[in-house]
Structure 1
Amino acid sequence: MVKTTLKIDGMMCGMCESHVNDAIRNAFPVKKVTSSHSKGETVIISEEALSEDKIREVMQPTGYELKDITSEPYEKKGLFSRK
């Protein structure tokens, strides 16, 4: 699993978050996507790493400015997770 964090400028409300989430969901096979206009970021959890070029291509028509993309391995941490 991979956690990809997008820094996005221009999201102002919950509808902006929804717009970004829908654009990501429609373009990639993701497990989870959440956006926060107050933090100015979108976090994507996916099985495979996502192409940065494809992310930029998907975000361009939304009207929001993609500032940065970071990826890191993702390990679900929960109450019943084992070490």
Structure 2
Amino acid sequence: MNENSSCCTPEDSRHSGGTDVQVGEVTTTYKITGMTCGHCEGAVSSEIGEISGVSSVQAVASTGLVTVVSKAPLDEEAVRAAVDEAGYELVGQGV
């Protein structure tokens, strides 16, 4: 999905709200452009969730923010590549 299209049903999603962060884990928030619905959230979450060390991903289309919990800090280029694969653009680390 490389267009700014919208769809209404999520596919395979690693979206996990309310995740308890374990000691030694890192939480990072990224700003993504182009997400408009649950499908977008699922696509981004699925791709980022495949990065080694990621334990949870929560994407919110309405804000464009994606919160990632991982065992160690992630390489931003790996996150950028995953977001690109999902068809969206990583702006950078968010709030």
Is the TM-score greater than 0.5? yes
Tell me how far 1:52 sits from its aligned partner: 0.8
- Find the counterpart in structure 1 of residue 78 from structure 2: 54
Instruction: Point out 4+ residue stretches in structure 1 off by more than 6 angstroms.
Output: none
Question: TM-score scaled to structure 1, two decimals?
Answer: 0.76
The answer to which structure, 1 or 2, has the higher relative contact order (CA under 8 A, 6+ apart) is 1
Counterpart Cα distance in 2 of 1:31 and 1:58: 15
Which consecutive residues of structure 1, in runs of 5 or more, have no partner in the other structure? Answer: 71-83
Counterpart Cα distance in 1 of 2:52 and 2:39: 20
SS of equivalent to 2:36: coil
- Residues 1-83 of structure 1: matches in 2 within 5 Å? 1-69=25-93
Residue 44 of structure 2 contacts residue 82 of structure 2 at CA under 8 Å; is this kept in 1?
A: no
Relative to its length, the structure with more strand (as a share) is: 1
Counterpart Cα distance in 1 of 2:51 and 2:82: 7
Tell me how far 1:31 sits from its aligned partner: 1.8
Q: Give the letter aligned to residue 65 of structure 1.
A: E
Alignment RMSD? 1.6
Structure 1 or 2, whichever has the larger Rg, is: 1
Which consecutive residues of structure 2, in runs of 5 or more, have no partner in the other structure? Answer: 1-24
Counterpart Cα distance in 2 of 1:60 and 1:35: 15
